[in-house]
Structure 1
């Protein structure tokens, strides 16, 4: 299901929905390092995803958390998000790219910190 060297966009488009379904449509709040099964690894990746999302900046200048949750998970268009902040379309595209980059950086740090191996890496 999860392949290394995939982009963050692909992760949210293809892998995140599957992880969410495998979790029983629950967001895990803890990491299990005792069980080495594949299912627990997926559960841990989903937990790291939400640890990462909750560490993202969410200010009017850098609404990274809003963009990831609303656009990547809830499928709200960038234009609808941009209208909330009263900016132009290019502002939204730039913030989206920044949010995806920041997500990838923090995600890797959280995987290492929480010892969720093998590391899921984005291009």
Structure 2
């Protein structure tokens, strides 16, 4: 059970902070396929990350966006996230796993749609 969505968790723990720092601590709002540099690719991956996050459902039943932003981007402790979404420990952990899965699916779709290659793999 602990290894659910390990690749996505690792992305938010290790890669996302680096992407954010490389971007000059700003969230890109567009894709630039003309910039073929490594930094250009990283910029585009960060943009796709936020395109995917902003498409996640954020309802009381499925607070996926809140979970991803609070827990995995801002690194808020899970106990505080549980308070925000008003769910028990077991249910909030299930929702966190669902949110990571939905993020990974949406991220892949956005990466393909926006032609940001090579694809980031979350295995």
Q: TM-score, normalised by structure 2?
A: 0.93
For residues 51-109 of structure 1, give each alpha carbon's deviation from its aligned partner in whole angstroms, at most 9, with x where no partner exists: 00000000011100000000001111222111233321001100000000000000000
Q: Distance in 1 between matches of 2:53 and 2:27?
A: 12
Moved over 4 A (4+): none
Q: Distance in 2 between matches of 1:26 and 1:20?
A: 7
SS in 2 for 1:7: helix
For structure 2, the 5+ residue unaligned runs are: 1-5
Q: Distance in 2 between matches of 1:70 and 1:29?
A: 20
Judge conservation of contact 1:48–1:111 (CA < 8 Å) in 2.
Answer: yes
Task: Tell me the CA shift for residue 121 of structure 1.
Answer: 1.2
Q: What residue number does 1:83 align with?
A: 83
